[in-house]
């Protein structure tokens, strides 16, 4: 993942998300929306031994679940965060 500078959606949303406010952002495919909300969420997520989910992201399709999970796994590669995707037709324990 090579990042040179934030895209417009990322620049507009990082500080708002980090302040704890809700955000609705609209941008074209490939503009970095997942990074726009994912990086601030993971950055502010403190270490915890808690096993319950601490962040829930809802997306409308199975394909988007896989895409978002892959992106979050890359962002959280050097952390202790556990990333799990859940969608219909698959055993949640797999």
Q: Give 21-78 pLDDT, tens digit per residue.
A: 888 889 999 999 999 999 999 988 887 788 888 888 989 999 999 999 999 999 999 9
Residue at 94 is within a domain: no
Nearest to 72 by CA among 31, 30, 43, 29: 43
pTM of structure: 0.82
Q: What was the pLDDT predicted at 1?
A: 62
CA-based torsion, 25, 70, 42, 49: positive or negative: positive
Q: What was the pLDDT predicted at 94?
A: 57
Residue at 83 is within a domain: no
37's enclosing H/E stretch is: helix 33-44
Q: What was the pLDDT predicted at 75?
A: 93
pLDDT at 3 over 60: yes
Residue at 86 is within a domain: no
Residue at 91 is within a domain: no
Mean pLDDT of 85-90: 85
Q: Is the distance from CB of 73 to CB of 83 less than 8 angstroms?
A: yes
13: containing domain: 8-75
Residue at 59 is within a domain: yes
Nearest to 80 by CA among 33, 35, 45: 45
Residue at 87 is within a domain: no
């Amino acid at each position: 993942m090579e990042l040179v500078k934030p895209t417009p959606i990322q620049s507009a949303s990082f500080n708002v998300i980090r302040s704890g406010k809700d955000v609705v952002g609209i941008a074209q495919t490939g503009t970095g929306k997942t990074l726009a909300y994912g990086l601030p969420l993971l950055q502010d997520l403190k270490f915890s031994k808690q096993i319950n989910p601490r962040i829930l992201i809802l997306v409308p399709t199975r394909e988007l679940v896989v895409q978002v999970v892959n992106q979050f796994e890359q962002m959280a590669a050097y952390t202790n965060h556990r990333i799990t995707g859940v969608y219909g037709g698959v055993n949640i324990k797999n």
